Amino acid sequence: MVSLQKETLRIPLVSELMIPSEKVAHVQISNPLEHALLVLVKSGYSAVPVLDPSYTFQGVISKTRILEETIGIEEFEMNRLSEIMVKEVMDDQVPCLTKEQTMIDALHKLIDHPFVCVTNEKGEFDGIVTRRTILKQFSKHYHETLKYTMLETT
């Protein structure tokens, strides 16, 4: 019984928490901004990962960055959406995780980012861990710990 509780309290690995790459919406580094905006609007996400043709992670593109880029002095310059490429606008200074890291490593990085990308040693894209997943895990972990602590003290 106690060992079952201890298993429940085990800290999960990133590999157990991530959304795998095949389920993650992404754009290619050489796509024009208009394609990226289409993916973002259709998916409903505020930002998605940017990959190169060999599926190596390159950065993150967000609706906010695209809007900032297309707002001119007095009006929206929509023609810029087809002229500018994702690689010119994306944020390439974002932290990553590896599958072998733990939920605690993910938690630290998710404080400042709504999602963090998971890559392998070659920089290839494996998936993402989202803030929502970590919050759900922490809620579960908190309640299990509480239950376990109460069992131990009774």
- Give contact residues for ligand AMP (rule: CB under 6 A): 19, 23-25, 45-48, 114-115, 128, 130-132
Residue of 113, 59, 110 whose CA lies nearest to 85: 59
Min dist CB 49 to ligand AMP, Å, is 7
If you write DSSP's letter for every residue of the chain in order, what string do you get?
-HHHHHHHTSPPBHHHHPEEGGGS--EETTSBHHHHHHHHHHHT-SEEEEE-TT-BEEEEEEHHHHHHHHB-SSSB-TTHHHHSBHHHHSB----EE-TTSBHHHHHHHHTT-SEEEEE-TT-BEEEEEEHHHHHHHHHHHHHHHHHHHHHHH-
Closer CB to ligand AMP, 69 or 77, in the complex: 69
Closer CB to ligand AMP, 132 or 140, in the complex: 132
What residue number has its CB nearest to ligand AMP?
132
Closer CB to ligand AMP, 77 or 124, in the complex: 124
Min dist CB 137 to ligand AMP, Å, is 12
Closer CB to ligand AMP, 48 or 84, in the complex: 48
Min dist CB 120 to ligand AMP, Å, is 18
Min dist CB 126 to ligand AMP, Å, is 13
